[in-house]
Amino acid sequence: MPYRLLRFGLSRKHPEPRMFRRHDALKPAYDVVIIGAGGHGLAAAYYLARDHGIRNVAVLEKGYLGGGNTGRNTTIIRSNYLTPEGVKFYDESVRLWQDLATDFDLNLFYSTRGHFTLAHTDAAMRTMRWRAEVNKHFGVRSEAVDAAFVRRALPMMDMSCGGHAPILGALFHEPGAIARHDAVAWGYGRGADRRGVEIHQQTEVTGIRVEGGRVVGVDTTRGAIATPRVLCAVAGFTPRILDMVGLKTPIYIHPLQAMVSEPVKPWLDPIIVSGSLHVYVSQTARGELVMGASLDPYELHQTRSTLDFVEGLSAHMLDLFPFLGEVKVNRQWAGLADMTPDFAPIMGTTPVEGFFLDAGWGTWGFKATPVCGKTMSHTVATGRNHPLIDGFTMHRFAQYQLTGEKGAASVGH
């Protein structure tokens, strides 16, 4: 064994710099406590420290960093939404994504592929034109394209989809991209840690102390902390945290499953989505096909996998790409999606002073990671909602002013 390796192995102090520090104990008080060390929570911590100078921050994670939906999504980044609120918000996110690897000094494998949302019906074509016009109005590159354009871009695809769902056209969104999702969490985590933020894994929040309508502290499995501000960024666990502060929201939890094939030679450059077939698929840099479908059909707080899902999704994949018949599915998994009735998130201030929410991210949260961090750090630092999230506050329901984003959900849920 080489001497250097032996010295490395026996060294008490790890000689390589780690991505973030490990802290043996919690401090008695922090300026901000962020619940959830996923992409959203760590991004908020990063921008709080970098842009707002708030560094006495603890990020509490009951599992491990990026182990929730940050590590379970299908990594698609796009901004071809339907409502003006949505398009502006996600477009800002796509802009932030493009500089992120430089910000972090970490390769995110950010890869702009182009994104096709296939239309199999006249009604779907109409929605594509609508989305394209809204997008163009806000300067987002999207256009409705015809079947000939799709065939030229994807000669390997069966344009008739097995004869039962012929492709009439698509919404083509040129900036559509994929990125390595773990690296996003690690990049934000390292950036926040270097600026003084403490990341505490294996630390579960068991209660939130509210006195006189204000947050005063957080109870955890490793002791109590005093803090005036708490940001909740826990995706599928949001209702359980909301119970601790006595807030009610429309959020309901359904599992969302995904699967990945064995690696094959690169053949699929763009990202393909079909709402009618309930499929979205892209090929990673390693050659695996990452595939997802619609939500599981009923409420469940468990990340179990089902055979129904693999069977259904595989059947639809074969409608599009019959030559994949011999390709094996390598893995499948599930995440807990916190769904809202209008398919838009619930963000910002709440009736409990000092308690901020970044939730309702259902099946569309990964692409929004940077802009959520930006806007939520602003909201937490100033106590006022960032203008970009005005359409996403929890007060919209009481006023029946929903932000109807369902038409732009990647598949019909």
Partner 1 sequence: MKILVCPLNGPRPVSEFAYGGEVRTMPDPDSCSDAEWSAYVFNRSGSPGVKYEWWCHLASGYWFIAQRDTLRDVVLATLPVEAVRAGLGAKTPRAEDPRA
Residues near partner 1, by CB under 8 A: 238-240, 242-243, 248-253, 297-302, 304, 306-308, 338, 341, 397-400
Which residue pairs from 203-210 have beta carbons closer than 8 angstroms and sit at least 24 positions apart in sequence? 203/26, 203/60, 203/61, 203/62, 204/60, 204/62, 205/35, 205/60, 205/62, 205/241, 205/244, 207/244, 208/241, 208/244, 208/245, 208/355, 210/245, 210/246, 210/352, 210/355
- Compare residues 109 and 397 and give the one whose CB is closer to partner 1: 397
> Least distance in Å: CB of 195 to partner 1?
34
- Compare residues 126 and 240 and give the one whose CB is closer to partner 1: 240
Residue 169 class from Cβ within 10 Å (0-12 exposed, 13-18 middle, 19+ buried)?
Answer: buried
Reference 374, options 59, 54, 96; nearest CA is 96
- Compare residues 193 and 342 and give the one whose CB is closer to partner 1: 342
- Compare residues 58 and 337 and give the one whose CB is closer to partner 1: 337
> Least distance in Å: CB of 36 to partner 1?
16
> Least distance in Å: CB of 200 to partner 1?
24
Reference 234, options 136, 356, 411; nearest CA is 356
Q: In what order do the strands lie in the sheet with 329-339?
A: 142-146, 169-173, 115-119, 271-274, 279-283, 289-295, 252-261, 329-339
> Least distance in Å: CB of 161 to partner 1?
22
> Least distance in Å: CB of 337 to partner 1?
11
Residues 357, 106: Cα–Cα separation, whole Å: 28
> Least distance in Å: CB of 295 to partner 1?
11
- Compare residues 182 and 219 and give the one whose CB is closer to partner 1: 219
- Compare residues 253 and 281 and give the one whose CB is closer to partner 1: 253
